[in-house]
Amino acid sequence: MIMRKVLVPIFAIVVFLVFWELLVWVNQWPNYKMASPSDLWPAYVKYDTLFFTYGWQTLWRTVAGLLLAVVLGTALGVLMGVSRTARDALYPLLVGFNAIPKATVVPIMALMFVGQHDLNTILLAFMISFFPIAVSVSIGLSTLEPEYRDILRALGASKLMIFRKIALPKTLPEFFGALKVSVTLAFIGTNLVEIIEPHGRGLGHLFDSAKISSDYPLMFAVLIVLALMGILLYYVVVALERIFAGWAERGAD
């Protein structure tokens, strides 16, 4: 089972890379139009120091924004899940805020927090990734079957005990499902700031520099590193899900 879960994704990635290489080869595209996987390794070798430096900058700020989204998104989701009034009041605000293109928020934050590049990046990663977490926790708590509450209350359980023993564990599958989505969204937020706000940090800055110099192999090399980092964090979330909500997957089997 473990080998299948490891080998199947690796096989899929290899097939994708082979298809990509063949597509470029068949169409005879030059690397200034479409880089192929074989063009990427020289870019990694040439700019290895920049990839390590900028990659670490992007990764830690993305993780920081994601952790902030987990804490505040969960707290907001719990509030909306246990209170219908809070849910009715906050849902329109959350939907409206989430509908705003985050690229338009970057210049505003740059003016509000001049020179605070790390703060701006973490904030946008948080803003773009907390919505799925808040909504999933809210839905999980608000859809708890009333029969559970009635039975547990008849047995003498308090509201706090029902919330802690039944409601919160029930939301874990939804929470981790939303967290898998938020991982990719956090990277989008981080790179938006790195590309739009010129501060010379992160993989977004390296991508922008490659775009200015028309270095297509470097541009695609940056995209592949970002994809790999996203996959890494995704599987970290999968591992945490197996630890804290593995019962849901076993129940599905």
Is position 23 within any domain? no
* Contact present, 53 and 110 (Cβ < 8 Å): no
Question: Looking at the whole model, is its pTM more than 0.75?
Answer: yes
Is position 3 within any domain? no
How many domains is the chain built from? Answer: 1
Is position 105 within any domain? yes
Question: Which residue segment(s) compose the domain that 134 sits in?
Answer: 47-252
Section 204-209 average pLDDT: 91
Query: Residue 228: in which H helix or E strand, if any?
Result: helix 216-252
Is position 197 within any domain? yes
Is position 6 within any domain? no
Section 2-16 average pLDDT: 81
Counting every residue written for the chain, the total comes to 253
Taking the C-alpha atoms of residue 91 and residue 213, their distance in angstroms, rounded to an integer, is 44
Express each pLDDT in 83-116 by its tens digit. Answer: 889 888 988 998 898 888 888 888 888 888 877 8
The overall average pLDDT reported for the chain is 85
Is position 77 within any domain? yes
Q: What is the CATH number of the domain that holds 132?
A: 1.10.3720.10
CA 127 vs. chain centroid, Å, equals: 11
Q: Is the pLDDT of residue 159 over 80?
A: no
Is position 9 within any domain? no
Is position 166 within any domain? yes
Taking the C-alpha atoms of residue 211 and residue 13, their distance in angstroms, rounded to an integer, is 25
pLDDT of residue 156: 66
Q: Is 198 helix (H, G, I), strand (E, B) or coil?
A: coil
